[in-house]
Structure formats: structure tokens, C-alpha cells
Amino acid sequence: MNDGFGPSIREVDLDAIVVSPETLKGGQAVVTKRKELGLCNLEIEQIEILDDRLSTESSVYEEKFKISSSNQRKQILGTRIAPSKKNKFKSESLIIGVTGGIACGKSALTEKIVNMFKTHFEVIAVDCDKLAHSAYESGSDCFEQIIQSFGKDVLMLNSVGSQEINRQVLGQKVFGDHNKLKKLNEIVWPEVRKQVKNIIKKSPEKGKIIVVEAALLIEAEWADLCEEIFTCIVPKQMALERLSTRNPLLSAEEALSRIESQISNRERIEHSTFVFSTQWDHDFTLHQLTKAFSTIKHELLL
């Protein structure tokens, strides 16, 4: 997303660029840029775009997101793309799962969700990453299983001299190795799910909203605990740049391995009721969220 030209200003052996009425200006910008770089001129071939909706047999992702206009894709963000599992809000809490890939901005989105919904409802926020941290703590069943499965070299001494899991070392062992990652997930996921269920069970009051932030909500099959699934997405390149900035000790290869070890945005969208993207500015993220909030508030208060 940060490279608006891509190969169009690097490839020498190009003769033409195909554009739609919507992308004509972009095509003209490519031609101008190539001239500045001393590359051969391109012919601009303009075509008309057919109806932006695909076959009714297409997946949710295809129908909702593979449409011709980037503006139309942006308009879909924050709108309902699948029905809620919720039937009677007045009888129990509403559980919203927030998910997305590494460095997609889901934590910042979750904070905005909590703050917005707090204006009308009582809200409980559940951070599954923090719950997972407790599963790694010394003395837990997960702690012992991790050492047995991955070796004592994943241990480190903390500030008070006690042993704890070095998650960076553990991450280096499992990311990029499907079998090891699967083994770690089999150890940690059931424990986190149990903790989430306990929190939900202890919060039975009417009219309450529980926001569960979980990067692995889909992969770990926790989606069944939620009635709304809010998915946050960004392009892979943006996620890589954010991850490298956030964790400069990661090599480019390690960062890419972590990104590619995840399920795709398409798979996440297939399970979602709302989709958001944080690739633009703060105000546009709020705009997306305001649309979703208005929809849910209207539905809940009917």
C-alpha cells in the first residue's frame, strides 16, 4: 500500500497499462513517472468494469470484497456482512470477538470498540494474549508441558530470579515450523479457552457486552463463544513493516515467516460479521467503527 506504483515503474518490457474509468488518473501517473525515470512510454487502454457483484454462488469474501472499486470496498468496512448469532440481548450478555493477524492494529481497534460501546452499555474487555501469558507462568500445567516439548533452553530468569518462559526464544523455535507451532497451540489454546469461558460464565448480567480480543479466534475455534466477529485486516506488506518496526530484533525472514504462518485475511472474513481496516488514518477507523456501533445498537435496543 505504501508503493503506489509497484512493478509498473520498474519493468522495462511493458507496452501498455489497462485501466478502468476509476483508475485512469493512476494510469496517467504511471506514464508520467516512467517518463521521469527514462523508461519507454506506455499506451493507456481504458476498459469498462462489469457489475461489481459476483455470482451468488461466490463466497462471502468474493461477494463482499473482490469488487472493482476500492471506494466500494472501503464503504463495506464497518457494515454487517453476516447475521449475528444473537437473538435476545435482554436475557444475557452480547459477546463480540475481535480478531486479526499480526500487526493489523486489532488492539487499538479493541480499545476504540470498548470506549465507544461504553457510552451506552456496560462493557467487559478480555485480552486473550494476557490470558495466554498466565498459561505460560511457572507452576502451570502449560509451563511444564512447554518445557517437556521444547526443551529447557526456552527458560530464562526474570527480574526476581525465578524461571519463566522466554517467549522470544520459543517463538523462534515454532514460527516457520508447522508441527512445532501446532504442538504449542495444542498446549496453550485449551487453557485460554477455559479461562474465556469462565469469564463469560461469571458475567451473566443482562445488557452487558463482553469484548474478547483474540488473534487466534478462528484458528483456535473460539468463534463459537462469540455472537459477533469483528475482524481487522491490513495488507501483508503493511503488516510486515509494522511488525519489523515493533520488533526490530526480528530479521526480515523471521517477520515474513510469522506473517505467513497465519491463516489468510480471506479465511478470517469468511467467519466475520463485520470487517475493519486500520491501514488509513485514525478518523477513518473511527468512521468504520461508528457504522458498526450504530448497527448493533439499533439491533440490540429494538
The verdict on 100 and 157 lying in the same domain is yes
Characterize the bridge pairing of strands 94-100 and 228-233: parallel
Spatial neighbors of 65 by CB under 8 A, at least 6 apart, are 73, 76, 269, 275
The verdict on 31 and 127 lying in the same domain is no
pLDDT at 45 > cutoff 50: yes
Task: List, in sequence order, every residue forming a beta bridge with 6; answer none if it has no partner.
Answer: none
pLDDT at 101 > cutoff 50: yes
Band of pLDDT at residue 55, cut at 50, 70 and 90: very low
pLDDT at 254 > cutoff 60: yes
pLDDT at residue number 213: 97
The verdict on 158 and 87 lying in the same domain is yes
User: Residue 177 sits in which domain range?
Assistant: 60-300
219 belongs to a structural domain: yes
Spatial neighbors of 296 by CB under 8 A, at least 6 apart, are 84, 94, 228
The verdict on 116 and 26 lying in the same domain is no
pLDDT at residue number 87: 59
121 belongs to a structural domain: yes
157 belongs to a structural domain: yes
Report the percentage of the chain scoring pLDDT > 70: 87
Highest mean pLDDT among 35-39, 116-120, 199-203: 116-120
pLDDT at 280 > cutoff 70: yes
The verdict on 188 and 292 lying in the same domain is yes
The verdict on 22 and 125 lying in the same domain is no
Band of pLDDT at residue 159, cut at 50, 70 and 90: confident
* Alpha-carbon span 244 to 198, nearest angstrom: 35
Total structural domains within the chain: 2
The verdict on 140 and 72 lying in the same domain is yes
Please indicate whether residue 232 or residue 15 has the higher confidence score (pLDDT).
232
pLDDT at residue number 69: 55
DSSP one-letter string for 105-138: SHHHHHHHHHHHHTTTSEEEEEEHHHHHHHHTST
pLDDT at residue number 214: 96
51 belongs to a structural domain: no
153-183 exposure pattern, b = at least 16 Cβ within 10 A, e = fewer: ebbeeeeeeeebbbeeebbebbbbeeeeeeb
* Alpha-carbon span 245 to 40, nearest angstrom: 36
* Alpha-carbon span 300 to 302, nearest angstrom: 6
The verdict on 194 and 80 lying in the same domain is yes
pLDDT at 288 > cutoff 90: yes
The verdict on 141 and 206 lying in the same domain is yes
HSE value, Cβ hemisphere, 13 Å, CA-based, for 36: 7
The verdict on 196 and 247 lying in the same domain is yes
Please indicate whether residue 42 or residue 55 has the higher confidence score (pLDDT).
42
The verdict on 201 and 178 lying in the same domain is yes
Tell me the CATH number at 84.
3.40.50.300
Please indicate whether residue 10 or residue 185 has the higher confidence score (pLDDT).
185
Amino acid in the structure at residue 158: N
